[in-house]
Each structure stands twice: as structure tokens, then as C-alpha cells.
Structure 1
Amino acid sequence: MSEIVGRPDAASSVIGSESSKNGGSSGFDASRIAEVKAWLVSQFDAAGKDVPDFEYTPRSINHLHNIATRSQAKTQAATIVANDFRQKAAEYRSQAVRIREILEHVGLVQESLPSNVVSCSQVLANVANLLNIRDTELSSFLVAMADLSLRKTGVEEKRAKVQSESKELLDYTRKAIARLTYLKRTLSQLEDEIAPCEAQMEQRNTNVAIMESKERQYLQQYSNYKAMLNRVGYSPDISHGVLVEMAEHRKDLEKKTKPILDTLRSYQDLPPDKALASLAIEDKKRQYAAAEKYLEDVLQSALAASE
């Protein structure tokens, strides 16, 4: 349901048309619209203005009905409170008239009292109002002063507590400021060290790249040396000690074969006697062959011992 109307009386035509269309449920909407219409008229009439044009929709009607309900409830509560205040004011006025009559009978009217008495009475009344007491009896003043003293004590305790908390917060704030200053100084130092560290990191990255290149080169050389050792028949059984031992045997054999070689060289100066020369040569060849065989036996025995 949405119709544009300019005055609350036009809402009745909308209510009638909608009630004929929607049946029983529109009765509830019509009653709400009637309540809203009456409330709007009363409010705008009190302000001396006309109800403005607006669109009656279910949402606007519900919203206005809620506002009207709350407004009427608050108005009723305010009326009750105002009536109570009016009644109390009337009672206070009648009591004031009665007290004035009593004071006139005993001759204590304000006009007949000295100025200092009037000023003291006003001060006493102001103090009573300040202490929120109904009369000026001494007991009331004592009770009010005791209550004021208790409240003062409570306020002093709260003040001391707040001061202690403020002191702690001040200490925390000072420590936080000191830490913040230290952190800022540390941050400044770190920012100053960024450039040297970046240069150092770049240098290290360059060195790492060079080392990786050399590593690949060394691995390739290691592979080549290993292949070459495999080709020449190197085995892990041939250790340094075995090689040293074989070198010592070789030196011994060289010492043994050197006299034979020297003797063979001396035969070159002999007269050309073919029979003796051939016999001597054959003899030296046998000795040389025996020395070579002995060297081979020693090498084989050294290899067998190492295995």
C-alpha cells in the first residue's frame, strides 16, 4: 500500500480503498494510520503548523506509530511528574503562608528583623540547601557534616589512588619514552649501516658465485683425474707406503746392477776375441736377467703384502 496524500483527512480515503482490497488485515493498518494521523495533527497543531505531505507506506506507518507510542508514554510520564510537582508547589506555598502567619503572630516577620539576623538566616538557609537537608536542626547539620566528611575521606582516598596511578603512569611513560628514544637511535644506526651491509652482501654474493664456478671447475678436474687414474690402472691398494717401498727396492737393484753395467762397459776395451767376448756377454746378460727377475719378484711380493 502506497498512496501520496497531503492532509490527514485524505488518509481516510486511502484507508477505505485499502481496507476493501486487503480484507481483515487492513483493519489493523487502518487503526494504526488513524492513531498516527491523530498524533501528527495534535503535534503540528501545538506547533501552529500544518502536517506536511508525505507517503503513507507500511514502513513509515510502523516507524511513526512507534514514535507516537513512545512520545505518548513519555508525555504521560511527564504529565504525572508535572502534576506531582504542582501539587508539591501548592503544598509548599500553603505551608509558607501558614509559617508566615505564625511568624507574624510572634513578631518574627522578615521586615521586623535586624539586617544581621536576616543575613544569618539566609546564610543558614543557603548552607542547608548546599548540604541538601530539609531543616536547620543541629542534628541535621551534624549528620550532613558527617556525611560530607565521609565523602571527603572517600574523595581523598580516590585522589590518593589516582595520584598513585598517575605516578605509575608517569613512570611508565618516562620508561616508554626512554625505550622509544633508544629504539629510534638503534633504528638510525641500523639505517646508517644498511649501505655498507648491502655492499658487503654484494661482495659476498660475488665471492659465492666465484666459489661456485671454481667448485664446478674442481669437480670437473677431479672427474678428469679419476678417469686418467682408471686408464693407467691405478687402484686404491697402491698406497704411499707401497710406492716408497718399491722405490727403495728399485734403488737397491740399481746399486746391484750398476757394477754389472760398469763391467759390461769395461768389456768394450777388450781385444776382439769373439769367443771370450760372447761368453762374457752371455754371462752378464744372465746376471742382468736374474736381477730383473728379482726386482719383479720383490714388486709382486710387496703388492701381495699390501693386499
Structure 2
Amino acid sequence: MSDISGGSIHPPSTTFEPSKNSGSSGFDAGRIAEVKAWLVSQFDAVGKDVPDFEYTPRSIAHLHNIATLSQAKTQSATIVANDFRQKASEYRSQAARIREILEHVGLVQESLPSNVVSSSQVLANVANLLNIRDTELSSFLVAMADLSLRKTAVEEKRAKVQQESKELLDYTRKAIARLTYLKRTLGQLEDDIAPCEAQMEHWNTNLAIMDSKERQYLLQYSNYKAILNRVGYSPEISHGVLVEMAEHRKELEKKTKPILDTLRSYQDLPPDKALAALAIEDKKLQYAAAEKHLEDVLQSAFASSE
């Protein structure tokens, strides 16, 4: 049977006849005849008429390819079938010859005991099962060895497959455990969404307040800086420098207080012009030295702050 059966072609209303301008279309008349003959033979084989179809170069080329392939397969199938028929005829001839020989020696199946016949059938079945052509012991041994090797290979493959199945089962169990853990973690995360969103909202509110405070503080800082620039503030009179100068002032006051007390005590003495002049000169020198020390301390303080 070919590759095309009845009903496999769905034709339009045109018939399978060349058009009037087929000579100018360049179609091969021999190819058209081959396709038509092949279609007729295939549809006649199933008792059906060739259906109508559109006569185009594409359809003719497609059908010609199918026809060529079908004829090649049919020819191959015919060759194989003829070969099988010839082999079957040879096997029948050989069987008849062997039966004739067995009849001459009295070993026909009808004259053998039933146990011999059954044993022969078992032997033949085993030979067919082992795929051997004779019943020699060596053939059976070779077939059994080959079967044993194949059995060993199958057992090895089975052990390997079992090991792989065990590993896959282990991986599957681990994957299921991880999936369960991930689902539980996902559930916990979903439960934590609402508190986290509330916390995020609180943080956003605080962030907005802090941003507003930052802008306020920056504005105040700019205002204070402008005020300091307006009053002539400089780093030399910063809080640290003033504190250090105040400490030095306290130390100088401690040093000059005994001198002032001594000067006040001189006011209670009777007036002696010469002694008073000497005492005044001495105190002036001490006072000048104290002022000089104070100036040195202030200069050193200014230099360190710079």
C-alpha cells in the first residue's frame, strides 16, 4: 500500500486535467503522466476514484516526490518479501530433506517417545531463546557465557541505577526538607510584614521630623554665624581661648595679690619720703614685671590657638 490513502487529499472543484496554457507554464508532461498513473494505481488498489485537486506546479512536484519515495519503498519491500519467500522455500526444502533423513534412520517425531519429543522441544526452545543455530554443547556454553556476561552487566547497571535512585531519593528528601523550611520561613516573614510596616512607618515619621529639625538647625546655624560675623567674632577669642586666658588671669591675680596687700600695708606707715619713693619704685618694677609676664602668657595663648 502506498503513502497516500483515500481522502488524504482535500481538493477544490477543479479536475485533474492540464490547463490550456500548460505548454507555456513549463510543466513536464512526463512527470504529470507519472503522477497520474501512480495516483490511479494507488486509489484503484483500495477501490476508490482519484479525487479532484488543483493543477499547480507545487502540487505536481509534491506528488511526484511522494510517488518516487513510495515506489522506492515499494520496490524495497518487494525485494525483502521475495528474499523472505526464497528463504522460507529453502527452509521448507531443508526441513523436508531432514525429515526424509530422519525417516530413513527411524527418528521421525511420530516414532519417538513423548519424553524425547518434549526434551527436543525444550532443547529447541532453549536454543531459540539463546539465539543459537545448532544444539552443540559448545554453542550452548558460549551462549550461556554471553548470557552470564549480559546478566552481570545488567546487575551492574541495576546496582548503579539503584545507587542513583537512592541518591535521587536522598536529594528529594533534602529538597522537601528545605522546601518545608523555606515555606515556614516565608510564613514567618509574612507574619512579620505588618509589624515591620508599622515600624517603617514610625521610622519614616521620625525621619521627616529629623529632616525638619535639621533644616531648622541649619537655618539657626546660619543666623548665628551671621551674628558672629557681624559682631566681629574670630577663632582667636573662642571659648577655649577665653577659658585659658581666664585661668592665666586667676594665676596672675594670685601672684599680684600679695604685692597689692603689701602696698596697702605701706599706706599705714608714717610718711618717709625717701623710703616711700624706694618702696614705690620697687613695687612699680614688680608690677611692670607682672604685666610683662601677663603679656607673654597672652601672646603664647594666641600663638597656640592659631
TM-score w.r.t. structure 2 length?
0.74
For residues 86-112 of structure 1, the C-alpha deviation after alignment (integer angstroms, 9 at most, x for no partner) is: 000001111111111111111222122
Match of residue 285 from structure 1: none
Residues 149-188 of structure 1: matches in 2 within 5 Å? 149-188=148-187
Q: Equivalences for 1:83-232 in 2 at 5 Å?
A: 83-232=82-231
Q: Structure 2: how far apart are the matches of 1:198 and 1:123?
A: 83
Cα deviation digits, residues 143-194 of structure 1 (max 9, x gap): 1111111111111111111112112212222222222222222212211111
CA separation in 2, counterparts of 1:233 and 1:117?
A: 136
How far did 1:303 drift? Answer: 7.3
The Cα shift of 1:242 comes to: 4.9
Q: How many residues align?
A: 251
Q: Give how far 1:229 is off.
A: 2.1
Instruction: Structure 2: give runs of 5+ residues left out of the alignment.
Output: 1-11, 258-290
**For residue 29 of structure 2, what is the aligned residue in structure 1?**
30
Q: 1:88 to 1:246 in 2, by over 3 A?
A: closer
Answer with 143-152 or 204-213: which moved more. Answer: 143-152
Judging by fraction of residues, say which structure has more helix: 1
| Distance in 2 between residues matched to 1:89 and 1:104, nearest whole Å | 22
- CA shift, 1:208, in A, is 0.7
Aligned to 1:269: none
Q: Is the 8 A contact 1:242 1:303 kept in 2?
A: no
d(CA) in 2 for partners of 1:101 and 1:63? 56
Higher relative contact order (CA 8 A, sep 6+): 2
Cα distance per residue 1:106-133 (max 9 Å; x no partner): 1222122221111111111111111111
CA distance in 1 between partners of 2:214 and 2:179 (Å): 48
Measure how far apart 1:70 and its partner are.
0.9
> What is the alpha-carbon distance in structure 2 between the residues aligned to residue 97 and residue 155 of structure 1?
41
- Name structure 1 gaps, 5 residues minimum: 256-296
The answer on 1:82 being equivalent to 2:81 is yes
Comparing 168-177 and 236-245, the one that deviates more: 236-245
Distance (whole Å) between structure 2 residues aligned to residue 116 and residue 170 of structure 1: 52
Distance in 2 of aligned mates of 1:156 and 1:4 = 65
1:270-289 to 2 correspondences below 5 Å: none
Q: Distance in 2 between matches of 1:240 and 1:108?
A: 137
Distance apart, 1:73 and its partner CA? 0.8
Native 8 Å contact 1:4 1:56 kept in 2: no
Q: TM-score, normalised by structure 1?
A: 0.74
- Letter matched to residue 185 of structure 1: R
Asked if 1:18 corresponds to 2:34, the answer is no
> Where has structure 1 moved over 4 Å in runs of 4 or more?
246-249, 300-305
In 1, Cα distance between the equivalents of 2:101 and 2:156? Answer: 47
CA shift for structure 1 position 72: 0.8
